[in-house]
Structure 1
Amino acid sequence: MDKRSLCLLLICINLCLVIWLVSVQQSPMLEAEIITDSSGSGSSSGSGSISSTPQPPNSANGLRRSRSKPNQIYQPSRTPSNNDSSSLVSNTFDNHLGTPPSLASQTPSPPGSSMHLMDLPNFVYLIDQPACDKDVRVLILVHSAVKNVEKRRLIRETWANRSYIDQTPLRVIFLVGGVGPNSEEWQQFLGRENHMHGDLIQGNFRDAYRNMTYKHVMALKWFNEKCEHAQLLVKVDDDVFMNTPQLVKYLATPDLPENSMLQDPDLMLCRVVRHSRVKRSYRSKWRVTYKEYPHRFYPEYCPGMAIVYGPDVVRRLYEAAQKSKYFWVDDVLITGILAEETASKITPMKYYLESKDVYNLLNGDADLEDPPFLFTNHAIKPDESMAIWQMALDRIQRPLLTHPAYSSPSAASKSAQIVPSAIISEAAQTSSTALS
């Protein structure tokens, strides 16, 4: 073959390659589908003191970006008791797979046991919490990355403020994964954070982007085993503002249609994603191979930033996940693939507070309850969260809503206010009387 023919052949090959790359390149993922990268850290510092939060380790001693496979986990040398994590790190991990000799030879636990999480045979909680009290009606599990200290602090100062939450039938807990080898300072920091706030649950899988399915299934597991009597499980990301006063209002007002909807044990409420094409481009962060998922489109599913589950759905999805092959896109697997397998139907959520809606609200061009919302979109700014929370408190202060829904089942005849006494001093005495 002469040089001219060879050059033409090479040009044709390159042209075909370019056409192929263009054809497989997908458009950017919808904003609603974006999943927060677990390696990202919380930004800015909304108003309020941060002196009550232990300071994180310096970045030089922080987390290393994980490149492990999803099933390369860290095995603990012992099972800690509640709130015990500061001394876990010594002799816990080896230099390679993170499996200490004392556990490497153990027989894997059978599927369905308390030490089984999907394909992880020796799952345990590095940090755990007591089971839900009988008066908890809604368990809110916030998916957070280890380094997202500021995001957790902001949530504790706003919509999960203890002085408010403790007067409602809600409970808020943060979920994180393992810190990885050579990150003892981060583990000690988590121990101090949990000792101070008592609201962390930590699994012994690596806290990595492609391990979020483990965290999601851990949420289903914890609810199923320690809070199964509750009416709802809410799964929410740590960069979303949740309108907890609006949820409490729904629970407390039988005349609202949302009240009966939230009592459905088969509820799976979210913003539905439909006709989402599988990303195949090598340049896409969400690239999925044909081996991982062979079809062109995903089934309809819930974006993981905010999902409300009824207890029967939690049970079905958890049992299905325990038998399922691991797939790293957690919301697609759990609320799409497994939801189809278990005949769990999605109830579309009508309204989210988008970025433009937040802007209009804070500029006085919209009302907090026109229309009412349960969640903002992801990546809300700290100052926006603080401002919306203050607006919610101002709204609470005006009508002192009381209803038996705020009392435990054993004291259904009593009513309790949703007004946080530590924040609204004028309502404190009234609240104390109503709770007595």
Structure 2
Amino acid sequence: MKAFMCHSQGFPTLMLLVLCSMFLFLLVATPEREVSEVSPLLLKLFSNPQSSPGSAQMLRSIPEFEWESALELEKKRFLALQTPAHPTASTRHPLEVVYSDGYKFRLNEPDKCQKISPFLVLFVITEPQDIAKREAIRKTWGNESSVPGVSILRLFLTGLHPRFGSPLQNLLEEESSIYRDIVQQDFLDTYNNLTLKTLMGMEWISKFCPNASYVMKADSDIFLNVEYLVSQLLHPHLPPKKDYMTGYIYRNTKPIRSKAYKWYVPREVYPNDTYPPYCGGPGYVLSGDLAQKIYQVAQTIRIINMEDSFIGICLHKLGISVTDSPWGLFNVYKITYEKCRFSKVVVVHHFGPEELLQIWPNFQDQNETCKS
């Protein structure tokens, strides 16, 4: 292969050197793109390369997901919190999540449930920088007055940005002072720490809102039909269910053992070949009493970096089963918007703030009716 050469007849030497240097800098400094999310079908294929001819070769051709660098700051955080009960830094796998009562609330709304007993608490998983997502959710499905006669409470859960914590924190605190709907602890907000974020919500219920009837854990990139959830599954006119959790249920799924994916779970972190049944992470609902039980049992077992799978492990430890819901209510894939179809679902995944704001006026339009 011919070497790269910078040559231009009559071009000033100094300018030529500057341009060559800039080119080489961009060539070296440009980061590799992260592996994009793939469908569960591909995940199943790559978690078992022998299941299809040529799949192992396909897997080797995919660049590795570089989770090591993303976790370097988390290692420092672990060292700061280390106690004799924790594994030492030398024996702990980089993907092993450290759950500690040393995480403190940076932002909190401890008085939200003092005057009310909410029927439904919406916990929305966001990152500190997700200002547009939070604003869109407040104006759409996160509106606390969306279901007449039903007490709904909305809270956004977040951690500390791993690189821009201080400047973002000022913005987050200002946003919190306006809306009073953000809860934050001082763990790093990374994909690996999604489990910590969900457990923060379970802790908040246990300590500040134990009288909540139901809790909905929702990602920030979903469409959520709260009215249909309440009327079809939760039934506010009936006594609250106990030990209840439902959503899109996964059964007999295997941990992803390839570093090519951000869903990678090494055997050192989770040695079993399959997960217990669990509800898919984009959105699931559980009873308030079960949220408190999950918070308690999570302090007694080893935590893994896959949040939804870990909640299933907690249920297995508690001896509680997930509850089947009618097929098609919880969609972990995106489906094309159509009002009458969306009026009879609970969750649809992969809706950004712009698209959510675009479809919402039509979804709320009372003049356009659907056949029952």
Taking structure 2 as the reference length, what is the TM-score of the superposition? 0.69
Residues 185/338 of structure 1: CA separation in 2 closer, same or farther (3 Å cut): same
8 Å CA contact retained: 2:248, 2:330: no
Instruction: Tell me what 1:321 maps to.
Output: 298
Instruction: Tell me what 1:283 maps to.
Output: 260
Is 1:68 equivalent to 2:67 in the alignment? no
Instruction: Tell me what 2:25 maps to.
Output: none
Instruction: Tell me what 1:120 maps to.
Output: 100
More strand by share: 2
- Letter of the 1:344 partner, please give it: I
Task: State how 1:321-400 maps to structure 2 within 5 Å.
Answer: 321-334=298-311, 336-350=312-326, 351-352=328-329, 354=331, 358-359=335-336, 361-362=338-339, 366-369=340-343, 372-376=344-348, 378-395=349-366
Residues 172/210 of structure 1: CA separation in 2 closer, same or farther (3 Å cut): same
1:330 deviates by: 1.5
Distance between the aligned counterparts of 2:195 and 2:260, measured in 1?
Answer: 22
1:283 deviates by: 1.7
Distance between the aligned counterparts of 1:293 and 1:105, measured in 2?
Answer: 21
Distance between the aligned counterparts of 1:193 and 1:69, measured in 2?
Answer: 26
8 Å CA contact retained: 2:122, 2:216: yes
8 Å CA contact retained: 1:313, 1:344: no
- Show structure 2 runs of 5+ residues with no match: 1-36, 45-68, 86-96
SS at match of 1:241: strand
Is 1:298 equivalent to 2:308 in the alignment? no
Distance between the aligned counterparts of 1:315 and 1:193, measured in 2?
Answer: 28
Distance between the aligned counterparts of 1:224 and 1:396, measured in 2?
Answer: 42
- Letter of the 1:30 partner, please give it: P
1:292 deviates by: 1.1
Is 1:213 equivalent to 2:195 in the alignment? yes
1:210 deviates by: 0.7
1:164 deviates by: 4.0
- Letter of the 1:338 partner, please give it: C
8 Å CA contact retained: 1:72, 1:206: no
Distance between the aligned counterparts of 1:33 and 1:314, measured in 2?
Answer: 29
Distance between the aligned counterparts of 1:32 and 1:189, measured in 2?
Answer: 39
8 Å CA contact retained: 1:165, 1:171: no
Task: State how 1:34-433 maps to structure 2 within 5 Å.
Answer: 66-68=70-72, 70=74, 72-73=76-77, 119-129=99-109, 130-132=111-113, 133-161=115-143, 164=146, 168-180=150-162, 183-250=165-232, 263-334=240-311, 336-350=312-326, 351-352=328-329, 354=331, 358-359=335-336, 361-362=338-339, 366-369=340-343, 372-376=344-348, 378-395=349-366
Residues 32/145 of structure 1: CA separation in 2 closer, same or farther (3 Å cut): farther
SS at match of 2:284: strand
- Letter of the 1:300 partner, please give it: P
Residues 381/187 of structure 1: CA separation in 2 closer, same or farther (3 Å cut): closer
SS at match of 2:252: coil
SS at match of 1:73: helix
Range moving further from structure 2, 351-360 or 212-221: 351-360
Report the aligned-residue RMSD: 3.6
Taking structure 1 as the reference length, what is the TM-score of the superposition? 0.60
